[in-house]
Structure 1
Amino acid sequence: MTEIVVLGAGYAGLRTVRELSGTSNVHITLVDRNSYHYEATALHTVAIGTNEAEHITFDIQKAIPKDVTFKQDNVTRIDTQNKTVTLEKEATPLQYDYLVVALGFESEDFGIKGAATYGLPLQDIESAQAIRKHLEERLAAYNDSHDERDLHIIVCGAGFTSIELLGELVYRMPSLVEQYHLPADKIQITCLEAMPKILPMFDQKLVDFAVQFLADHGAIIHTSTPIDEVTDHSVISGDNVYEANTIIWTTGVRGSHVISDSHFDQKRNRVAVTSQLTMKDHPEVFIIGDSSAVPDPASGRFYPTTGQISIAQATHTAKNIKASIDGTPLSDFTYKSLGTVCSLGPTTGIAEIGDSGRIKLKGRKVALVKKMVNDRSIMEESGFANMMRNLS
């Protein structure tokens, strides 16, 4: 019996086990620290409170095929020499013939002073709920504290997630102002970004639309503003000090710490894999999703890590594992994006769809596209029943 171990039940891990299910003479074990899968691309909606955690999660055990063994546990180390995975709760390491590492991402602070201490990271359900709790508590406290910093919110970083989070924030802010009887003219939402431009994957006209939309709704983005330090009440960039009692940290992500803990050759906990998505010198180990760095054969640059590419990697990995078991050659991974959709709250956004982003959309119609993408993702990962539950 061939033992296949899959680490992580995110987009990549779930797709892998579903694609491998039913393979003869194979036993599949899936490991994840949670009993539930969460839609990582919707974490920002939970963080701002426009969505509840139960609407973007589903039970892993109910979503996976019957022939897959699920273990809820923390992965502590991967030993590629002995082909074992050490778990926190189990005394005996898992043995594997093939390993799929799909452990997901962690927040990246780039070593910036105070970021890990005072910034609120967005990396999982717990951190999203912590952001919402902190945000609502600071706003509610204003009427007693009269500290205007309670009305100031800073989002550090202007990446994809940051912009979607800002969109949710400006959408919900009017209701928060009304709920807590706040002075709307004193609310400040500030985003700080080190790079001179944001959302480089989009046409500039769409980016301009997004920036103007956010500005019209009270969120100002400062580009070319690298962060030097974060304190309990401020973010410092050069001679500028931006004050706020809510500081949300979305500057970027890195792969799982298990990668470095296992002494893999890595950068920011990402491993540069071969064109077959395998670890160099270990063709039985596949690394996909946020812990992998996958070269684009056309440009030589690494593909960006997205949910869409993680799913494509998982499908290709399952294909290559089956080929290896059958003794046939593995194929190179190629990827073609179906498009990119960036929400600006639940009712609007920007999108580029189709070959080379030939269809460009902005405004309210994008909200429908985003919902269709999310619903399709849920159905493909966990089945029709879970999709219908999330629609209700």
Structure 2
Amino acid sequence: MAARVITDDAEAVAVAAALADEFRAGASERDTERRLPRTELDRLSASGLLAVTVPAEHGGADVGAETLAEVFRLLGSADGSLAQIPQSHFAYVNVIRRQGTAEQQKFFFAELLAGRRFGNAQSEAGTKHVQDIRTRLTPQADGSYVLSGVKHYSTGALFADWIPVLARAEDDNLHVAFVPRDAAGLTVVDDWDGMGQRTTASGTVHLDDVPVPADRVLPHHLTFEGPQLHGALAQLLHAAIDAGIAVGALAQAAEFVRTKSRPWFESGVETAAEDPLLIQRFGELALQVRASEALLREAARAVDAARADLTDDTAAEASIAVAAAKVQAANTAVDVAGALFEVSGTRSALDSLNLHRHWRDARTHTLHDPTRWKIQHIGRYVLNGTKPPRHGLL
């Protein structure tokens, strides 16, 4: 696969904006037919966007969090499913930056620059809680490992070249094993049937004694032994997707009202777009969207600032800023996507129009992790100065 090499932040945003316009056109049809976006993901790989966080010394643009968040916001405004697929890709690029050896970094960064995609095999179903990981890496006599377990909600795995698998080694510490998509013993099942984000193919990964060389395993547990931005960056991208879904829903609502809605007879106006009550409601919704975008930018800048001077204090500031952005964006995405019907009227509920895809995508994506716990950590930090925990979900 020949991939473009993006050289700076401005180019990354411009490429993302162009791709978002391209992807927007078929988003509703892909959702309706549950047509998986293989062609679109190949376009994403070829565009060079998947390598924009590769460090400069390895030939990448090494863009900041603010740029990466804007890339995801733009993609999310076009297609809430498609934007979700590379989220874990960038989270695991960050693992390589943080914990990879020089040789591992050299190999995987070259893979990224060539357009290769990382998937995700992280979550497990039926365990005590989300961090109760039972997939095992069993050491072999030659220093390699055998990987066994079952993973669920494995977004991106079906389309991946490499699947990062979160597993416990013999010492029970968490590691990430990077496994080729075609590895012996690895099966990806397209059994995702969520009401929203229908085309993420977030299905099940079966790992049946998958052989893993020692140099494909990274000690992820070390990420959390000091100040870290792993969780902040991953959550920032989730917030950006939510902010993007809200932008897309508001734009589609405005287009529908301008072109298809009738004015309420009591309004005394000729078009729905002149209705003062609708104008008021659109203003309120726009304020929510703008607040989400502003908090997203502020959070991204906090992550960039912490990356430049990483301490317990700067990492805490970044995590809290991201938590605030995530809460606001999640609430806004659900609210605006629901209000689309309120402002558009009865016709907008026709299933054939598929306007509900925005709400379904928002409602599904915002279930990823509970905002109530983010609010708790914000409150503890503001009231008592309690720094947020280092568990990768904040």
Instruction: State if a TM-score over 0.5 links the two structures.
Output: no
**TM-score under structure 1 length normalisation:** 0.23
**TM-score under structure 2 length normalisation:** 0.23
The structure where strand makes up a greater share of residues is: 1
